[in-house]
Chain A
Amino acid sequence: MSILAKKKTEFRDARDALAETIRSGGPFALSGNGTSRIGLCFGAELKAPTEGWDYDPSALTLTVAAGVPVAVIEQFLRDENQRLAFEPPRMQGLLDRDGASTIGGVVAGNLSGPRRVAVGACRDFCLGVEFVDGRGEVVKNGGRVMKNVTGLDLVKLMAGSNGTLGLITEVSLKTQPIPECVATLVIEGLTEVAAISAMSAALGTPFDVSGVAHLRGADDGEGAKTFIRLEGFENSVKARIAKLQSVLKSFGESDVEWHAEKNSAIWQGIRDVERFCHSADDVWRVSVKPSEAVALVEAVAPEDVIYDWGGNRLWLITKAGTDVRAKVTSGHATLVRASAETKQRLGVFAPQSQGVAKLSEGLRRKFDPDAKFNRGMMG
């Protein structure tokens, strides 16, 4: 069993220095390298430690300093034939940012890619967290084991808190073996209503679908495409693809993409919302029940839409200043890309019910009593 424990001293020194900085100053802006920051906030940039590893491939667990780039982690895991199963997205293209996404930033945003529909979100792979709270205290929660119900689960709370509760300094994550084979079933020309039905049907089969998305046709005349991904041992993928084609035959002919690199390109494109990168219009991320997705899209009438997670997640590109939230009846919408003025006017994050807002505000005051972190970020 190989356990790599590296640079713990460097990690502790960096963390303790951060705690001291937090105790004596503020306000601070916490956002990793800022590559996926979407909220408006101000303050002095504070960066998580970038050194420190503890990886146990046989236990499928990794503990790592929060400032380590995701790309570095993914390369490191790949050497052991493992990966981060939640497919952390890179938002640089969409948001026109430079720099390397850090794992702390991904966790703080609870950012997940297409595989989320099958295996869970980033937060579901977070086993433990260490953070510095607004009082400058170093707090640990969770651990580095897969099952842990000891005390309140602050790991989930910190994941998705967008730096409003504390500076995440270290995270422990569950890793996953890279499967032997990946294939994508491609159905062309479905209407959006039919695509939702096809995606729901696929997700309702026992064939372990690991990605389900639908893209509209492109300007160059290419038709709409529905993508359904399967992963696993080669024989198993072949057998499941055949069964899936049979289940979905009422939706028309389908092709299968077996080429590994082409599969990567398809799903990376969806993960990183590549389709909307070369435009300046507003981009919204919407969580909705798949059965209500098409009606919402029709109501908003966006310029383009990506249906991911079988229609549970929509990416919408709209004319600048459009208020998508006004059309959302259930679910919620996040304004990912827009001018500061539009973000200010419409708000980045979905407003919450009074009861939930009160609890959230209470938690922020507990964790960060002097409001040092990411002021204005989440309401």
Chain B
Amino acid sequence: MQMPVPNPAVLARKLELVARLRHVLPHDAVIDAPEEVKAYECDALTAYRCAPLVAVLPSSTEEVSEVMKICHNMGVPVVPRGAGTSLAGGALPTADAVILGVARLRETLEVNFPDRYIRVQTGMTNLNVTAEVEGEGFFYAPDPSSQLACAIAGNIAMNSGGAHCLKYGVTTNNLLGVTMVMADGEIVEIGGAEMDAAGLDLLGLICGSEGQLGVVTEATLRILPKPEGARPVLMGFDSNEVAGACVADIIRAGLMPVAIEFMDRPIIRATEDFAKAGYPDCEALLIIEVEGSEDEMADQLARIVEIAKRHDPVVIRESQSAEESTRIWLGRKSAFGAMGQRGDYICLDGTIPVGQLPAVLRRIGELSEEYGHMVGNVFHAGDGNMHPLILFNANEPGQLESAEALGAEILKLCVDVGGCLTGEHGVGVEKRDLMGHQFAPVDLDVQMGVKDVFDPKWILNPSKVFPLDVSASRRAAE
């Protein structure tokens, strides 16, 4: 993975840049000591690291605006950063960049239960949004696995999803409005508390734009009443094909579970060794969760179990208590940790049409053999969002590169069967160089044209999302 050569003219003006930033921000909000900026050298994609020139932690939209004016004026690249939990390197700095962290933007600005929305500063964590409203029986629906730590800013930048988006949608479906600081420091309000903003859907464009179009400092989010209850059922099958067919039948029957999670044998084994959740020894495992009252859940689960039984399951375990539900989810929730015990891993998130599941898993198995890396698959089966985890040993030279090469093969496979490179983690730097496999040059050109409108000097996160050779002329025009 390549990054552009840092701009020597920017590096040479570091002292001036720091002085100007200190002029508009409190002293401790500008971090420039080399040993301190190192804390911002990477996000959760830890394979790539580069300390930024400076990191800033503004406390208000106006401060963000002042920072952007200075950087715009001096031609300094800005890499916005939420909580640094991106798995795609979305917040990876370059040596000539200012990291703009939203960690100090944590206020709740307004909660409105009758109209069902909350307005927050975007440094607030995902889970804290729910904490603000759950006393009144509401919650914020998108639930990325990192929800304890991840910031709303990053959720909006990556259009984050989660296990329950089958029913509730992803961030873009739950976002009503934003306050955004443009590349030149101008502050714009887009959308609001009402449904369907006027004019072009700029909100839809901004959500998932990976810090390419602006810095979102405040957000109005839709909140929903909490369901009466939730209950999972666990089922084991003899083959991926059969489990896949069972998922298809459940969907066709009109059942709308809130989550359908799929785990394959390598993951089942790894999680059993690690978490001892008591999963059966089988080829494929489904965890299906329903919501509602006691009666409704029992009714839905009965229908699901009836369908599953037609597919000769090895085991069906319906949760009878909160404790059992926790145990059923335990293995799934520890899947990443379990794989982490076996070595370093890369986690991909390509999405495929659900019907392609068995064929894709078979091909991943072959590729895994070919490259000599173990691959485990956990999978949001209801929406086709895969999560292959590729194991490697970071201490052995060449292993990261071959694991990445395998990852690239798997993602290309996702595209080739009618899917896409990333379902919820974003492109960042991780999948940047594969974009040409999914998009024709004209498709990328139009997307870059959108960035031209929002950020004509290409100072916002300029070396992400678009392959460097494709964006070279635009970045050079800075």
A interface residue numbers (CB < 8 A to B): 1, 3, 56-61, 81, 110, 112, 116-117, 120-121, 123-124, 133, 137-141, 143-157, 159-161, 164-165, 177-180, 197, 200, 203-206, 233, 235-236, 239-240, 243, 287-291, 309, 312-313, 330-332, 334, 349-350, 352-353, 355-357, 359-360, 362-363, 366-367, 378-379
Smallest CB-CB separation from B446: which chain A residue? Answer: A139
A139 to B448, CA, bound (A): 13
* The one of B208, B227, B300 that contacts A149, using a Cβ cutoff of 8 Å: B208
Q: Tell me which residues across on chain B come within 8 A of A1, comparing CB atoms.
A: 248, 355
Minimum CB–CB distance for A143 against chain B, Å: 5
Which 5 residue pairs spanning A and B have beta carbons closest together?
A: A156-B204, A177-B254, A147-B423, A355-B188, A362-B453
Q: Is the CB of A154 within 8 A of B200?
A: no
Ordered by A's residue number, 23 sampled pairs between the chains whose C-beta atoms are within 8 Å are A57-B252, A110-B196, A145-B383, A145-B419, A147-B161, A147-B385, A148-B351, A150-B420, A151-B447, A152-B212, A153-B204, A156-B201, A164-B200, A197-B114, A233-B303, A239-B296, A240-B293, A330-B194, A332-B194, A356-B189, A359-B453, A360-B199, A379-B199
Q: Tell me which residues across on chain A come within 8 A of B421, comparing CB atoms.
A: 150
Q: Is the CB of B385 within 8 A of A58?
A: no
Q: With an 8 A cutoff between CB atoms, is B190 at the interface?
A: yes
Known: A236-B296, A312-B195. A145 touches B352 (CB 8 A): yes
A161 to B165, CA, bound (A): 26
As a 0/1 sequence over residues 153 to 172 of chain B, the CB contacts with chain A under 8 angstroms (1 = contact) are 00000110100011001101
User: A177-B251, A350-B199 provided; 11 other pairs, C-beta below 8 A?
Assistant: A124-B173, A139-B442, A150-B421, A152-B209, A153-B159, A154-B447, A291-B114, A331-B194, A359-B202, A363-B450, A367-B446
Q: Is the CB of B355 within 8 A of A81?
A: no
As a 0/1 sequence over residues 353 to 379 of chain B, the CB contacts with chain A under 8 angstroms (1 = contact) are 111000000000000000000000000
B interface residue numbers (CB < 8 A to A): 112-116, 137-138, 158-159, 161, 165-166, 169-170, 172-173, 182, 186-190, 192-205, 207-209, 212, 225-228, 248-249, 251-256, 292-293, 295-296, 299-300, 303, 351-355, 380, 382-385, 418-427, 431, 435, 438-440, 442-444, 446-447, 449-454, 465
Known: A156-B205, A356-B188, A367-B446. A150 touches B198 (CB 8 A): no
* The one of A124, A147, A200, A289 that contacts B351, using a Cβ cutoff of 8 Å: A147
Q: Tell me which residues across on chain B come within 8 A of A179, comparing CB atoms.
A: 254
A378 to B198, CA, bound (A): 10
A309 to B116, CA, bound (A): 12
Q: Is the CB of B205 within 8 A of A153?
A: yes
Q: Is the CB of B159 within 8 A of A140?
A: no
Q: Tell me which residues across on chain B come within 8 A of A200, comparing CB atoms.
A: 114-116
Which of A152, A153, A289, A350 has its CB near the most chain B CB atoms (within 10 A)?
Answer: A152
Q: Is the CB of B384 within 8 A of A58?
A: no
Smallest CB-CB separation from A197: which chain B residue? Answer: B114
Q: Is the CB of A378 within 8 A of B116?
A: no
Q: Is the CB of B169 within 8 A of A204?
A: no
Q: Tell me which residues across on chain B come within 8 A of A330, comparing CB atoms.
A: 192-194
Q: Tell me which residues across on chain A come within 8 A of B296, comparing CB atoms.
A: 233, 235-236, 239-240
A107 to B385, CA, bound (A): 25
Q: Is the CB of A150 within 8 A of B431?
A: yes
* The one of A57, A133, A177, A204 that contacts B256, using a Cβ cutoff of 8 Å: A177
Known: A149-B422, A152-B212. A203 touches B204 (CB 8 A): no
Q: Is the CB of B418 within 8 A of A145?
A: yes
Chain B: interface secondary structure? loop
A214 to B351, CA, bound (A): 41
* The one of A117, A133, A141, A160 that contacts B200, using a Cβ cutoff of 8 Å: A160
Smallest CB-CB separation from A155: which chain B residue? Answer: B204
Q: Tell me which residues across on chain B come within 8 A of A140, comparing CB atoms.
A: 439-440, 443
Which of A116, A312, A330, A359 has its CB near the most chain B CB atoms (within 10 A)?
Answer: A359
Known: A152-B450, A290-B114. A205 touches B256 (CB 8 A): no
A185 to B146, CA, bound (A): 40
Q: Is the CB of A331 within 8 A of B207?
A: no
A355 to B385, CA, bound (A): 36
Q: Is the CB of A352 within 8 A of B201?
A: no
Minimum CB–CB distance for A365 against chain B, Å: 8
* The one of B187, B355, B427 that contacts A3, using a Cβ cutoff of 8 Å: B355
A28 to B142, CA, bound (A): 41
Q: Is the CB of A154 within 8 A of B450?
A: yes
Smallest CB-CB separation from A146: which chain B residue? Answer: B383
A120 to B115, CA, bound (A): 15
A356 to B172, CA, bound (A): 19
Q: Is the CB of B205 within 8 A of A157?
A: yes
Q: Is the CB of B195 within 8 A of A309?
A: yes
Q: Tell me which residues across on chain A come within 8 A of B173, comparing CB atoms.
A: 120, 124
Q: Is the CB of A205 within 8 A of B194?
A: no
Smallest CB-CB separation from B447: which chain A residue? Answer: A152
Q: Tell me which residues across on chain B come within 8 A of A146, comparing CB atoms.
A: 166, 351, 382-385
Q: Is the CB of B159 within 8 A of A349?
A: no
Q: Tell me which residues across on chain B come within 8 A of A288, comparing CB atoms.
A: 194
Q: Is the CB of A154 within 8 A of B446?
A: yes
Q: Is the CB of B188 within 8 A of A353?
A: yes
Minimum CB–CB distance for A99 against chain B, Å: 25
A366 to B203, CA, bound (A): 18
A178 to B256, CA, bound (A): 11
Q: Tell me which residues across on chain A come within 8 A of B195, comparing CB atoms.
A: 116-117, 121, 287, 309, 312-313
Q: Tell me which residues across on chain A come within 8 A of B423, comparing CB atoms.
A: 145, 147-149
Q: Tell me which residues across on chain B come within 8 A of A334, comparing CB atoms.
A: 198
A332 to B116, CA, bound (A): 18
Q: Is the CB of A366 within 8 A of B248?
A: no
Smallest CB-CB separation from B188: which chain A residue? Answer: A355
Q: Is the CB of B254 within 8 A of A151?
A: no
Known: A153-B208, A312-B194, A312-B195. A123 touches B201 (CB 8 A): yes
Q: Is the CB of A139 within 8 A of B443?
A: yes
Q: Is the CB of B443 within 8 A of A289?
A: no
Q: Is the CB of B208 within 8 A of A110?
A: no
A332 to B198, CA, bound (A): 7
Q: Is the CB of A147 within 8 A of B383?
A: yes
Smallest CB-CB separation from B190: which chain A residue? Answer: A356
Minimum CB–CB distance for A292 against chain B, Å: 8
Known: A289-B194, A291-B112, A330-B193. A148 touches B420 (CB 8 A): yes
Q: Is the CB of A150 within 8 A of B435?
A: yes
Q: Tell me which residues across on chain B come within 8 A of A3, comparing CB atoms.
A: 355
Q: Tell me which residues across on chain B come within 8 A of A312, comparing CB atoms.
A: 194-195
Smallest CB-CB separation from A166: which chain B residue? Answer: B446
Q: Is the CB of B292 within 8 A of A236?
A: yes
Q: Tell me which residues across on chain B come within 8 A of A239, comparing CB atoms.
A: 293, 295-296
Q: Is the CB of A363 within 8 A of B453?
A: yes
A353 to B255, CA, bound (A): 44
